[in-house]
Amino acid sequence: MSQHQFSSGDVIADRRADYARMLAEAGDHAAAAELYEQALELVPDWVAGWVLLGDACQKAGKVEAAIAAFSRVEAMDETGLFGASLKLAALGAAPVPETPPSAYVEGLFDDYADRFETSLVDKLNYSVPQKLFSLVQRHAPFELTIDLGCGTGLFGLEVARATSRLEGFDISANMLVKAEEKYLYHHLGQADLSDALLAGESLFAEGLPRRRADLVSAADVLMYIGSLEVTFSIVTDLLKPGGFFAFSVEDGGEADDGFTLQPSLRYAHTRPYVLDVLSRTGFEVLEELRTDIRKDGGKDVFGILFIARLSL
């Protein structure tokens, strides 16, 4: 949630919310929730305030109150910017969405762009770009690589040395600005990988042809997409026959469903589910690697890296 969304437009309500944040930072989430409730009595239509209340209630162990707050957000937030459907699903109060709201993912990374690399690389020991490229480079060089969910260009830094042309696409405009500053990409565009129609408008715009890539990558992207069918179909439209698809998922372990929503509001995918979708969309798996991919709360997060080839 960006800073400008914290303001309710009411001075007294904002002051109480500021005190509530101080209490939350000190670990007193129950007291913080009480102050957020007081603020919302003054500004009941403040959507971000209901999000803050829900978060405080959840951390205070008041699950029913958190569900009530997030349900209020879902009713008020038509775009899904605040991700209430995900928060409710994580609390077991709603079905797990097949994909998160696009506005939520876009807003999340627009707000995260300036501190993305510092947070992810320096603090969380993020290692997917290097590990994925170590698998990819065995099949290099490439004439054209398309980096889906390119972010600030961390995988681009790795693969640029092995490809003649590099294109990058991301849902976040602010991330694309950071990627452009690296001067790695020959083309950058905004694309929502959960929507085939909207993605196609960017991926195949300006005369960009279908079936043009030798390599398509999606490094640390699919944890923000639940159902993989649409995204994998998009990849088949981008790849030449025999082209390579390199990607990572968070390891869903032995979950009964193909993908699960975690408390982090990221998706984890099971290996059998990924293999099934790859097979149904025309891919054969060449290599896979289960490995730690970053830290979360001081603990290692494990993922699976895949290299697949389009056999259609």
CA distance linking residue 190 with residue 168, whole number of Å: 9
pLDDT for 62-108, tens place per residue? 999 999 999 999 999 999 999 999 999 999 999 999 999 999 999 99
Domain ranges of the chain: 3-95, 112-310
Distance CA 54, CA 65 (A): 7
How much is the mean pLDDT over the chain? 93
Q: 112-310: same fold as 3-95? A: no
CATH 1.25.40.10 matches 3-95: yes
User: What pLDDT sits at residue 298?
Assistant: 82
Q: Please check the confidence at residue 1 and state whether its pLDDT lies above 50.
A: no
Angle between helix 47-59 and 29-42 (nearest 10): 160
Architecture per CATH, domain 112-310, reads as 3-Layer(aba) Sandwich (3.40)
Residues 148-152: what's their mean pLDDT? Answer: 95
What's the pLDDT score for residue 312?
Answer: 67
Task: Indicate the burial class of 138 (C-beta count within 10 angstroms; 0-12, 13-18, 19 or more).
Answer: exposed
Helices (H), 77-142: 84-90, 102-112, 116-117, 128-136
Which has the higher per-residue pLDDT, 256 or 239?
239
pLDDT at 2: 46
142-148/163-170 β-pairing: parallel
Is the model more confident about 32 or about 3? 32
Task: With CA atoms as reference, report the closest residue to 222 among 312, 141, 119, 132.
Answer: 132
**CA nearest to 287, candidates 147, 169, 131:** 131
Confidence grade of residue 215 (pLDDT, cut at 50, 70, 90): very high
